[in-house]
Structure 1
Amino acid sequence: MSPVAIGVLAISMSVDAFIAALGQGVGRRRPGFGFAMRTGFVFGAIEMLTPLIGWLLGTAASVYVQIFDHWIAFALLVGVGGRMVLQALNPPVDEDGMRPRATGWALIATAFGTSIDAMAVGVSLAFFEINIIVVSLAIGLATMMMSTAGVLAGGLVGLRFGRWAEGVGGIALAGLGLMILVEHLGHP
């Protein structure tokens, strides 16, 4: 696999994480660089591991993973997106009027939901002679950078559009899950 092909693959695998990270940033008044980096690290680490897992599964039993991967992505993304919409409609605030921090589990669930496609790609890469470590590292690094930028950009959007932007982000995330499900059900 050429470096250009690896780069294109890495960026394409990172787009849905970028969208989800926008939603993470929108939910905060001014997400700091530290929060953005932590979010980017979580998204990048999970996105780096899932192609490896997919590759391992692909070498063992590719047909079984492809049967249900879209259902997992759908459930996670619709669940997290629905939660974002509910919070936009009725935002929880603490005594200072600030939103409480998202739980680590919600962040991990979102990151995993956006990385299911990378696992499927890992399954398909198992049938080619490629260096899966290089590909996984490229995907993880691109996702980390794009997710960090997404949180920061989401914070700027959130300052201007607040709850509306979070609601739209939640709808987009749920729509992404639905799109994954429809695409996979339409192409068995």
Structure 2
Amino acid sequence: MDILTAASLGLGLSADAFAVSVSSGLSMKYARWHKAIKIALFFGGFQMLMPILGWGLSLTWRSTIEAYDQWIAFLLLVAIGAKTIREALGNDDDNPSEQACNPADTRMLTGLAIATSIDALAAGVGLTVVNTPILQVAGVIGLITFAVCLAGVFLGKSFGCRLYSHVGKVEIVGGVILILLGFKMLLTAG
């Protein structure tokens, strides 16, 4: 697989992570580089690791992975989206950021990164049939996802700055985006 094809695959696989990164940026009061880099590293890292994992597991578990991948992503995204909405609705109106969802929380990022990288796992399964150097392709996918997600956090933040007085509403929108993304993944699967 040439670099352009790998880059195209990386762009396609990073779309869901980009949407979640924009949502994360929306919910941030201040866009700090260390938080944005952490978010981008989680998404880029999981997008890099999952094709390798899919490639390795494909020899014995291919049909099982393909049968349930969309359901796993759906359940994770809906659960995290619902949690985000619940936390936004529970905020104190006098101090909207007091209980606000932390988009750089390690547990939340892990769940989101897994949910958005299920497609990369499936891609890794598919890459076994084209005899490609999986480590190189996975590296390209990870780097592109990192860059796209870093930009996504700051893009979301640029909109969020204008909407900060409505933090609870913005977090609800972010939660709805995650839930809709989960339904999209479920409805467009195989």
- Counterparts of residues 113-152 of structure 1 (less than 5 Å): 113-152=115-154
Deviation at 1:158, TM superposition (A): 1.3
* Deviation digits for residues 30-85 of structure 1 (CA, Å, limit 9, x no counterpart): 12111101111111111110011111111223111101111110011111112222
Identity across matched positions, percent: 32
Residue 41 of structure 1 aligns to which amino acid in structure 2?
A: L
SS in 2 for 1:161: helix
Unaligned runs of 5+ in 1: none
- C-alpha change, 1:120 and 1:145, in structure 2 (3 Å) is same
Deviation at 1:93, TM superposition (A): 8.8
Structure 1 CA distance, aligned partners of 2:156 and 2:5? 29
Deviation at 1:100, TM superposition (A): 6.3
How large is the RMSD of aligned CA atoms in angstroms?
2.1
Tell me the TM-score normalized by structure 1: 0.89
What is residue 104 of structure 1 aligned with on the other side? 106
What is residue 153 of structure 1 aligned with on the other side? 155
CA contact (8 A) 2:23 2:177 kept: no
Deviation at 1:97, TM superposition (A): 4.8
Deviation at 1:143, TM superposition (A): 1.0
What is residue 166 of structure 1 aligned with on the other side? 171
What is residue 52 of structure 1 aligned with on the other side? 52
Tell me the TM-score normalized by structure 2: 0.88
CA contact (8 A) 1:23 1:169 kept: yes
Deviation at 1:169, TM superposition (A): 2.4
CA contact (8 A) 2:42 2:110 kept: yes
Unaligned runs of 5+ in 2: none
Residue 81 of structure 1 aligns to which amino acid in structure 2?
A: G
Q: How many residues align?
A: 185
